[in-house]
Amino acid sequence: MRAAAARYGTAGSLVLTALVAAPAGSASGTTPAPEAHGTVLAAQRAEAAGIRWGACAEADELPPSVRCGTVSVPLDYARPDGRQIRLTVSRTGAAREVRGKKVARQGALVFNPGGPGASGMYFPMVGVMPEWKRIAAAYDLVGYAPRGVGRSAPLSCQNPKQFTKAPTQSPTHPDESYKRERIAQAQSYARGCAARNPGLRHYTTLNNARDLDVLRAALGEKKLTFMGASYGTYFGAVYATMFPSHVRRMVFDSAVNPDPAQIWYDNNLDQSVAFEGRWADFRRWVAKHDKTYHLGATPEEVLHSYEKVRGELAHKPAGGKVGPGQLQAAFLKAGYYDDYWPTRATALSAYLKGDPKPLIEQAAPEPRGAVEEENGNAVYTAVECNDASWPTDFRIWDRDNSRLARVAPFETWDNAWMNLPCAYWSAPRQQPVDVGTAEGALPPTLILAAERDAATPYEGAKELNRRLPGSVLVTEEGAGTHGIGAGPNKCVNGHLDAYLLEGTVPARRAACAPHREAEPLTGERAAALPQDL
């Protein structure tokens, strides 16, 4: 299961010896010399070239206030003079003023929203939002599309129309026939990835971290200020492990568990357990508002209403496009973000009253987004499959997920099917990076986490906190939104501002009360809300 991109609002010369000595993801625990040399060389070239900023491409759909450019990186850092790929980058300059007060520029803040497979090109647009204005006054806001994403040497593993084909089934406890069907699909997908992408093995977390250092150099930054959300926390942590002397400030928002033993198979099993808990949170909320939705006065009754809809869609897809698979995907988003709760409950209620339109609007695939969705999934699959070894015997997957589905049925098997191509992957696998730094190697770093986050379960934030001495964990207690920085919680935002603007962190772990619970929407208010929520 992808650790989805978190939503918001909803340079200098390099020292070769430092890179050679920095720990990384090889079996020996040190950076392989060819890649280390290639990274230094690529960064030196990027520093000399800089970034030529200009109007953004029409495909980026960004306003004129955002400027765009590209940075060249080697496809293979062991061969820095070989094939180069271009990463697209976006930027707005620091406003240098907030509420009529002059503010000193602190450099560039680079952001990655996660995935793997998500683009951060939109990031500079957040500067106009109230939660970001103080940060946008002090920093250039820099987003980019990582390798493989968007126009950055994009990956594709199958025809986008095939990828978004609908309707589909989504059995909670699949039978043997369905399992054989999904195995065949996973094998076909893995073959398609290998056939369509000759450089597939170079799309890894290690290379994402190296690319980030080249981007730092191209921006003219001697040290990196970075904020990563979701998967962005993992390769940010890998970056900190590889290049600790290049870090100025780092924010890890909704942290992936970086324990090498967790990457990635076990992380996905843990994720399925956590989604079961978040699914229960949603059903409790719906039951609490039964007078509005009439889906049941208890979580069990709400589940019965959901399963009734699922059963009907299995026989007669809504609008010919929304089957159980599309229903599952739509309600999974409610596990990521509780601002989806009102619209999802409204759609379920309307369907049971004979009006399928809200559910179709929220759950049917959008043809215009097919290319982007397929591309994002291709990058997600390539990075996770390349990063680590996965079980290659389906019997192991079958055993683990069958057991798990007995206690966590909501997401378990859909999560397994999404990752199953890794069982049949032909590209060489890497040994996961042993994330961690020595005491004093890093400046203080900030970790943000919601206690009931399902996409990146809370244990991951605690594990990252243990592995990065000097890091401080800020917890939003009792909440489960994925990506909490610059969101609705003023306490969390206060810690974020204090860190990015002043470099200060709490003396030890800090806790924030949960943000305000979602309110049910009815009548005109519900109708006015965008249906893609």
* Known active-site residue 453: yes
Neighbours of 502 (CB within 10 A): 10
Tell me if 303 sits within 8 A of 409, measured CB to CB: no
| Burial profile 127-142: b = 16 or more Cβ within 10 angstroms, e = fewer | beeebbebbbbbbbbb
| Options 140, 211, 387, 453, the catalytic residue | 453
| HSE-up of residue 448 (Cα within 13 Å, Cβ side) | 30
| Options 90, 230, 272, 305, the catalytic residue | 230
* Known active-site residue 338: no
Tell me if 80 sits within 8 A of 41, measured CB to CB: yes
Helices 231-242 and 459-467, axial angle in degrees (round to 10): 10
Tell me if 171 sits within 8 A of 156, measured CB to CB: no
Q: Specify the pairing of strand 445-450 against strand 471-476.
A: parallel
| Options 202, 246, 289, 482, the catalytic residue | 482
What gap in Å lies between CA 22 and CA 423, rounded to an integer? 31
* Known active-site residue 230: yes
Provide the Cα torsion 18, 217, 229, 149; round to 10°.
-120
Q: How far apart are the first and last CA of the chain?
A: 20
SS3 for 20?
helix
Which residues are part of the catalytic machinery? 230, 453, 482
